[in-house]
Structure 1
């Protein structure tokens, strides 16, 4: 039963990590957009940093669940 739970958690964390990656990339593009206001670009850059942290956190958790499901 724990294997199934770990596998489900792996999938959930992988999906959340992918979502954070997509959000990070979108925010990076806004931060680089010279047509956007300076405050918008600064906010997007800050959001991209937060998304990067989320991405790494979810990916680490996914790896832990993946390894746990093997045992």
Structure 2
């Protein structure tokens, strides 16, 4: 039963990681766009940093769940 739970958690973490990664890239593009007001660019830059941290957190969790499911 734990293997099924760990596998489901692994899949969920991979999806969340991909979502955070996509959001990070979108925010990076907004931050680089000189046609966007500076306040929005700064906010997007901060959001990109936050998204990167979330992406890494989910990748780490996914790897732990993968290891737990295989052992």
The TM-score bracket by the shorter chain reads: over 0.9
Aligned pairs, number: 71
For residue 69 of structure 2, what is the aligned residue in structure 1? 69
Q: Which TM-score applies when normalising by structure 1? A: 0.99
For residue 28 of structure 2, what is the aligned residue in structure 1? 28
Q: Which TM-score applies when normalising by structure 2? A: 0.99
For structure 1, the residue ranges without an aligned partner over 5 or more in a row are none
For structure 2, the residue ranges without an aligned partner over 5 or more in a row are none
Q: Quick one: distance in 1 between partners of 2:11 and 2:63? A: 10
